[in-house]
Structure 1
Amino acid sequence: MSLINTEVKPFSAKAYHNGEFIDVNEESLKGKWNIFFFYPADFTFVCPTELGDLADNYEEFQKLGVEIYGVSTDTHFTHKAWHDSSDTISKLNYPMLADPTHVVSRNFEVLIEADGVAERGTFVVDPQGKIQIVEINAGNIGRNAEELLRKVKAAQYVAAHPNEVCPAKWKEGEATLAPSLDLVGKI
């Protein structure tokens, strides 16, 4: 079963954010767009490049009213230690969600049970708490924050314009499509 248009399941987790530990749960998501950005583990190789890329684009996500949660099965203490010891991770301004109990990773169906770590999963959640975008990458393939930003803009656009759809490679300001019988076979 697809997770698209399903509500985020209940969870309660700690996160390291701006020098302190905070509590996050499914209710924290309501009323704004959110990204859950799962990665296998702190102190690794591809993960810091992705998290750093998100940090470099975080201001653009914030302008769109989007909060990002970097999520791994590490503890919030480990997140703090990584934040304090890595130049790349120290620039993160978004919460680093801890999932040592694997509840959040299981809820989003990205837990690699045998290894106790999460797949490289990206989930865009709308203000009603429903998942609108799901992307899973193999562990050795990093993601691109600019492409994620484009997808978020498309998701926000179609949410605000329910009678329109965004075609392939759509970018903000470009033409969309209004599905109708007249378009069938003409694209």
Structure 2
Amino acid sequence: MLTVGDKFPSFDLTSVPGGPEGLTGKFVQISDSTDAGKWKVVFFWPKDFTFVCPTEIVAFGKLAKDFADRDAVVYGVSIDSEFVHLNWRLHHEDLKKLEIPMLADIKRELSESLGVIAAGPGVALRATFIVDPQGIIRHVSVNDLSVGRNPQEVLRVLDGLQSDELCPCNWKQGDDFLKV
């Protein structure tokens, strides 16, 4: 698995855009050069039409503005096609209001290059990557398939990374930094 300090791989994936445009059936290509110069939060979920996944996706979507305020974009990725993503958005009440794009890694190229495919089921693990504007991975977390992650914690880690300071345990934006 790629980790902190590694270059995030190149990718070019079809997506269902966030916002109302995502309900129109118009797909958009998103690549590693999309949103150049911004921080990127790229999170993976195993499959559409499951139970834990929409809770995470909706939670990330609700924080889209908070991430944008920090000059960061959020990309959600699974191995499902853009057509499956669209169908899920159209038929899941909470996903209809989703503000982030859903990227289709149907060939598993990005998932495999990052090393986040679960060996048994062959789906993406619940992996989250924070990537700096130079394309370097600055944070990685991976959860078992059965346990959802905390997007508020991802936002907190992004704040710490962007501070370029020493941040103690449970630090949050506005708290004091460690002084050496």
Global fold match (TM > 0.5):
yes
> Does structure 2 retain, via aligned residues, the 8 Å contact 1:33–1:67?
yes
> How far apart are residue 178 of structure 1 and its match?
4.0
Q: Find the counterpart in structure 1 of residue 7 from structure 2.
A: 7
Shift of 1:93: 1.1
Q: SS state of the match for residue 4, structure 2?
A: coil
Counterpart-to-counterpart distance in 1, 2:101 and 2:52: 19
Task: State the match for 1:129 in structure 2.
Answer: 135
| Rg (Cα) greater in structure | 1
For residues 29-48 of structure 1, the C-alpha deviation after alignment (integer angstroms, 9 at most, x for no partner) is: 53001111100000000000
Q: Helix, strand or coil: the match of 1:121?
A: strand
Q: CA RMSD in A?
A: 1.4
SS for the counterpart of 1:166 is coil
Comparing 147-156 with 39-48, greater Cα deviation is found at: 147-156
Query: What SS does structure 2 have at the residue aligned with 1:112?
Result: coil
Q: Which of these residues, 117, 131, 146, is aligned with residue 140 of structure 1?
A: 146
What amino acid sits opposite 2:10 in the alignment?
P
Asked if the contact 1:8–1:107 (Cα under 8 Å) also holds between the matched residues in 2, the reply is no
Alignment of 1:101-180 (within 5 A): 101-158=107-164, 164-179=165-180
On the 8 A contact 2:62/2:99 being kept in 1, the answer is: no
Unaligned runs of 5+ in 2: none
Give distance in 2, aligned partners of 1:88 and 1:2: 32
Q: Which runs of 4+ in 1 moved over 3 A?
A: none
2:29 corresponds to which of 15, 23, 44: 23
Query: What letter corresponds to residue 96 of structure 1 in structure 2?
Result: M
Residue 122 of structure 1 contacts residue 134 of structure 1 at CA under 8 Å; is this kept in 2?
yes
What's the CA shift for 1:24?
1.4
- The answer as to whether partners of 1:29 and 1:129 remain within 8 angstroms in 2 is no
State which drifts further: 5-14 or 38-47: 5-14
Provide the residue aligned with 2:41 in structure 1. 35
Q: For residue 46 of structure 1, what is the aligned residue in structure 2?
A: 52
Q: Deviations over 1:28-74 (max 9, x none)?
A: 25300111110000000000011111122221111111111110000
In structure 2, what is the Cα distance between the partners aligned to 1:112 and 1:49? 20
Amino acid at match of 2:32: E
- TM-aligned CA deviation for residue 100 of structure 1: 0.6
Letter aligned with residue 63 of structure 1: D
Deviation, structure 1 residue 173: 1.5
Structure 2 residue aligned with 1:82, among 84, 88, 94? 88
For 2:2 and 2:64, how far apart are their aligned partners in 1? Answer: 28
Bigger shift: 25-34 or 128-137? Answer: 25-34
After TM superposition, the score normalised by the length of structure 2 is 0.91
Figure out how many residues of one structure are paired with residues of the other and give that number. 174
Contiguous gaps of at least 5 residues in structure 1: 159-163, 180-187
Q: C-alpha displacement at 1:177, in angstroms?
A: 2.1
